[in-house]
Structure 1
Amino acid sequence: MAVQQASFIAEWALPAMVCAPVTWVCLVFRFREEGRLLGSPRSFGLAVAVLLWTSAMAAVASGLVLPHASDVPPVAVGAIAGSGVIPRGRSEQGGARAVLAVLTLGDSLLLQQLALRLRLDRAEWCDRMAEGFADCWDLDAFAGALKNHLLHRVDVHGRTSRARTQLRREIAERHAAVRAAAQRWITIETRIDKACQQQGRCPTREEQRLVRRAFGEAEQYLRYLLELEHAHGKRSDHGRVRELRERCLAPAGAQRGSGA
């Protein structure tokens, strides 16, 4: 009984135990700029599904292969299966790719769903952070605070000088796009308000459409800037971003309350 138990652990349990942490590390590396595996319950569930499925395949492959190939260490089977979630190049040998295809059977569908879920999580988070600005000045102030927040986090350990320069440039370009869109918004809105006051009328449907379009463009460019925070920032920074957003919304709310 003890011998059978030891054989089961060596051939089935050990590969799965080794595969699980290797798979998780490879998932984090694969989706490091795509999103956060712990960003939502659904993304976490899909990541765990990939981990469990890959570990199960490693255990099954080890249990079926080891009796016929005793020179293959169980640990190696688990490590190879876990590393299989990383995209492979076409230059690899066909035999190695075939082995990985067997060990990671079914992972492709789960990984595709996980990548889609991470993109949806990012879009939903950016939507929440970009909504609620009734005044272009508040939106512009938040964009400026977000830009400074991002720039202070560019110089991180492990990021190359070229990557830092490129990220700074991208932050500046996306922030400039937000400011330009916010300026167009206030210009159109001011021109229409002035015309309505002079002519003693309400805005026409076309004028309302122009204001809504300018407002939508400013929101969309703000989402592009927020995507950099979601891609390159830490999960702990989300609280800071929400704090910056509430701080920029507070003056407008205070003014509306005092005006009432």
Structure 2
Amino acid sequence: MAGDQASIISEWVLPAAICAPVTWVCLVFRFREDGRLLGTYRSAALAFCVVLWTSGMAALASGLLLPHASSVPPAAVGAATGWGVIPRGRGEQSGGRAVMAVVTLGNSLLLHELALRLRTDRADWCDRLAEGFGDCWDLDAFAGDVRRHLLMRVDVSGRTNRMRAAVKREIGERHREVRAAAQKWITVETRIDKTCQQQGRRPTRDEIRLVRRAFGEAEQYLKHLLELEHTYGKRRDAEKLRELKRRHLSAEHGDAGAAGELVP
């Protein structure tokens, strides 16, 4: 009886126990620039399902295959199954990779759903931070603070000078896009307001549509900049960014500013 228990632990439990942390580390590496695995309940649940499924397949493979291949250590089966989560290039799609695809059957669907969830979480996060600006100056000032916040976090250990320069260049380009869109917004809005005052009338549908379009472009470019914050920032930085947003929201317009009234 004791021998049977030891056999179950070594052939079934041990591979699963080793596979779980290996799978988690591989998931973190695989999605390191796509989002935060523990950012929301749904992403955390999907990541947990991937770990459970992969660990279960490792236990199953070890329990069923080891009796026919006793020279293979159970721990190696668990580690190899967890390592199968790491994406491979086309050149590595060998027979061994095909075996791992069978062992980790079902992971492709879970990983696909996890990738979609991480993208959705990032989009929702950017939407929440970018919405509510009724004044282009407030939006532009907030974008400037996001840029400075990002640049302060670029020079980290483990990142080469070339990588740092590339990240800084991307931050600068996206910030310039926000500034240009905000300037276009105020130009269009000022021109239409001046015309309406001179003619003593309200804006036409086409004019309202132009302001909405300019506003939408500025907001979209701000979200584009915030995507970098979500990629390179830390979860604890979210509250700091919300505080920066509250500071730059216009006290006069608030969340229902004049420009916001033109946006559905």
Q: For 2:21 and 2:115, locate their aligned partners in 1 and report how far apart those are by CA, in whole Å.
A: 20
> What are the superposed Cα offsets for residues 200-255 of structure 1, whole Å, 9 maximum, x if unpaired?
1111111111100000000000000000001111111111111111111154458x
Q: Structure 2: where are the runs of 5+ without partners?
A: 257-264
Q: Does the alignment pair 1:142 with 2:142? A: yes
Q: Output the amino acid matched with 1:168.
A: K
Aligned length: 256
SS at match of 1:91: helix
Q: Post-superposition shift, 1:93?
A: 6.5
The correspondence of residues 1-260 of structure 1 with structure 2, limited to 5 A, is 1-92=1-92, 94-249=94-249, 251-252=251-252
User: Which contiguous aligned blocks of 4+ residues in structure 1 show a shift greater than 2 angstroms?
Assistant: 89-95, 250-254
> What are the superposed Cα offsets for residues 162-189 of structure 1, whole Å, 9 maximum, x if unpaired?
1100000000000000000000100111
Q: For 2:111 and 2:215, locate their aligned partners in 1 and report how far apart those are by CA, in whole Å.
A: 36
TM-score by length of 2: 0.94
Q: Output the amino acid matched with 1:69.
A: A
Q: For 2:252 and 2:80, locate their aligned partners in 1 and report how far apart those are by CA, in whole Å.
A: 56
8 Å Cα contact 1:138-1:252 kept in structure 2: no
TM-score by length of 1: 0.95
Q: For 2:129 and 2:253, locate their aligned partners in 1 and report how far apart those are by CA, in whole Å.
A: 17
Q: For 2:26 and 2:236, locate their aligned partners in 1 and report how far apart those are by CA, in whole Å.
A: 22
Q: 1:202 to 1:253 in 2, by over 3 A?
A: closer
> What are the superposed Cα offsets for residues 75-113 of structure 1, whole Å, 9 maximum, x if unpaired?
100000001011112323633112211221110000000
> What are the superposed Cα offsets for residues 33-58 of structure 1, whole Å, 9 maximum, x if unpaired?
00000111111110000000000000
Greater shift, 194-203 or 105-114, is seen at 194-203
8 Å Cα contact 1:138-1:248 kept in structure 2: yes
Q: Post-superposition shift, 1:70?
A: 1.0
Q: CA RMSD for the aligned pairs?
A: 1.5
